[in-house]
Chain A
Amino acid sequence: MQSGDKNIQWYQTKFKAFEQSLNGEKAAAVHSLRRDAMRWFAELGFPTTRQEEWRFTNVLPISKLEFHPILRFESNGITRDRMRPYLIEGAIQLVFINGMYASELSDRGALQRDVIAGGLSDIMKKNPEKIKPYLANQVKGEENGFTALNTAFLRDGACILVPRDIVLERPIQMLFVASDSSFPYLSQPRNLIIAGVHSQFKIAETFVGVAQNTYLTNSVTEIVLEDQAIVEHDKVQRESLNAYHIGTTHLRMNAGSSYTSNVFSLGGSIVRNNNSVELAAEGIECTLNGLSLGAGTQVIDNHTAIDHAMPHCNSHELYKAILDGASKGVFNGKIFVRKDAQKTDAKQTNKTLLLSDDTTINTKPQLEIFADDVKCTHGATIGQLDAEQVFYLRSRGIDLASARDILTFAFAADIVNRVTIEPLRAQLEEAIQRGLKQSHRV
């Protein structure tokens, strides 16, 4: 534990410097959250493979390094031109550099009445009363070392507040750009998304590394869907292949609301997505989809947890992975069905396509059911490309390599086609086609 202790000290020192820089802001309520979280971090440290939740994903490469927390905005030479391939045309674009809101690079256009969308730090100052009931309500920082670290250095991130009855015509994009750097740094966006009663909108969360440097993105996103709200949330992660990405999303859903999440993991060296959903009332529809593309020595871990607390809720889950090279995939899908959650309909599917002999997948459905009138199913498949399908394509004149590409892309397209933000889907298709071609060459 020597190196672990040393590591905790590194962040404690950084925290002290951060506190000193805050001056008067230290009195703000948010700072007591930070202090608590720092204490938790000192107790928890980074997770190890001895913990069940982290058994298959070793974050030692992360805990060994000394990352510099980014607490101040700097553009680091990032221009809109540079971001062009990742921006979603027609969307409300919120841009962040290393986790800090870049208002100059953002394009909010004319926001619809009463809609708030921008940097959390600004909005916390301007509308503290709107933030207070929600911030760190679902993720306090005591969950694990990563959420503790995020909360301890809570500074900025995306904040989207859509009041009741508002239907957003344009999707909202949160583009998190990681700049190049000569030292390893820590980007920790803290995002808050509140969908008011009867509101409806789509959000795209894009993470992009513009260089091949080493950094850690450790993001935490808290989302609340009030009654009858409808939200599509697409997350596309294209970090540098030398970067680490830990993404935690906690979602609370209220009566009759509907949420669809599509999580695409393309980049990153070690990637962990924690996606937790609380179905807190009746009549909820929750859909969680994911697609991971692993190559080289990438480790891509998706942990999902759906808590059916109330009756008459449906959850559907489809996570897919395409693994090549010596990459590793992890899927852990928890579904809790509590005593009162009668008439629950929960379906979980995990499918993995292995393109090489050196890949590993650990898949674990974890269903805990305490109600007696429910429908819960789960299934996992792991396999290679279907030889019959490959032959069918070849028998029509398509060469072996193209047949494999077509079938592999079709496996991915199943998830890509669920994204309804058209320009994002086009970006994804291109990135995935390119990613698959590259991985074949390795």
Chain B
Amino acid sequence: MNKTEKHPEQKKQLPFTGIKSKMLIYFGLICASIIIGILVIYLFGIPILNFHGALSNQRVEVLQTLNLIADLKKERLELWINQREHDVSIIVNSNIAKDLTENLTELVRSITEISNNSSIWIKLQEEKDYLDLVQFIDNIERPYSINEGILIADVKTGNVICSPDSKIVGSNISGQDYFMNILSPGIFQNISIINKHPFHNGIEDRQFHFVISHRIYSSRNNPDEAAGPIAVLAVFVNTDYFIKPLLHTGGGLGSTGEALLVSMNAKILSPLKYELPDGSTAEVLEYEIIAKPAVFAARGEEGIISAIDYRGIPVLAAYRHILINHETGWGLVVKIDEEEVFAAQRNNIAKISIISFIGLVMFVILCNIFANKLSRPIRHLSKTAELLSKGRLHERSHVISNDEIGILSSAFNSMADQIESWHNEFEIQLKKRTASLEAVNKELEQFVFIASHDLRSPLINIEGYSKEIEYDLEEFKKIIPLEDIPEGDNEKYKQFLNDEIPESLNVIKNSVRKMDALLSGLLKISRSGRAMINKKPVNMNMLIVEVIESFDFEIKKIDAELKVSGLPDCESDEMQLSQVFSNLISNAIKYRKPGRKLKIKIYGKKNTDNLQYYIEDNGIGIDEKHVKRIFELFQRLNPKKTSGDGIGLTIVNKIMKKLNGSINVKSEPDKGSTFYITLPLKNYKESV
């Protein structure tokens, strides 16, 4: 058995196809998908199980916070407005104020009936009732510095009849909302937003102010009476002191969060934290927000929402409605950018991802250790099997364990034992056979050698003495002249001496020559069997030229055409190869088609695993039924027509076998034959 023989199916293992790599890949994939799955579930939840993910939870949490903040701010704002209203109600419900107002009203009315000169307002301020009333309302205005101003105006004329700020006394407010609204039936108190008021010389300051106006009734009359109010109290509230701190302090809105207050028609009441998308700054009381939370809040709705704010950025918002007058009120919105809300979550995701990655790496390391441990016996086993299959039959698996691999291992070992014992037995048998075959072969060749050698000796004698008899016959004829023989016997002697004896001698000689041809053929074969093969690189073109030169005479004689095209070189025995080509060319000449110009083409080619040389002729060709026999011993297809010993192709065949090559023929009768020999590309070890 050839131990270096390779099985084609045993290819080199590709990377990542080993059991260990597979384990690593599979385990790693499982681990990675578990981690990714947990991450996804953690973030987005499982809808069917009513499990909300972290993102959803975060959202809910933020919305709850926003709700709380909005509620708190709303409550505080309402409380504060209530306090302001309470301030107002202290005045309007005070009998002193009522009486003083009534007195003053009547006084002013009586004066203005006489004269409408502005000087009357200066005189009015010197009245005792006026001073008392101013003192009274001033007490309410001053303590908190909340109120920007306070005034009492006559219902009928709209003239300011009393105010701590003396310069506005006598001015007319009858056209103002806060004055007119209060005169509508059923309305006793009104809160109006203004952007200018008399205390600031009626200049628009683009600031949010509001004024609480309230009816003042006579203390002597029932308020419900049709007599109506006698005057209107208006308190101008400074929002800076409270609303700005209310909106902008308190925390809980992160860095992007913002609280804003809008009027009933959704106009902003406080400056916005951000610029508008076009880069301009929104004007208080001018800019109308169209973002949903503000609109909803102004409309009177309350709730939470995820919406786009005035900048066009997604936000989470809580909106509240603060009832100011009977049906209308302001909207309060607290909001925070979604981005900020989820930024924390994203940060979490990043952290979790890093932790997961570290976990994955550790898992892979552990997997590697375990995969190594688990696959080691299998790898050992497969390595052993591979070595075994390459002919190292003494290799055994050393895996000892009580699991399946252990069972496999011991089964494998006993199989290997069996194979080894078979193999050894086979080898012994083979050696015996080979030895006996060699002996037989040697004996046979020896036999052929001796036989052909020794059988020739008698032939030499037969031939030699036949010739001697011929000589003797000639001598005899000279010694005894025919004339001396009696007449009757003369013809008989003549016949013997001239015909019968020479004819017999000829038959003997011909038979001897035939026998000699057979014997020398045998001898040649026996010799070619004994010849040593000496392999060397052979220049085939040169070899062919030399062979052809030896046929020069014959080729010229029969006017044959020989064409040789570039032959690949080989590594073989030059002597033997030249004998092969010599035989084949000789055959081509011998078996040419009479009357046709002989053309011989010699060419070769190099294949991937062998070399081939072709000798093509246009001779008589070989019938298909004879093709198999031509390489057999003493086969001559046309013994009478051509000369030859009939062993040329047998010898060629034998030589080609010795050179690890082969000879074949393709032929068509009457057209020609192509003999082609195949040689191995590399000089393989001489086969035993």
A and B together in one complex: no
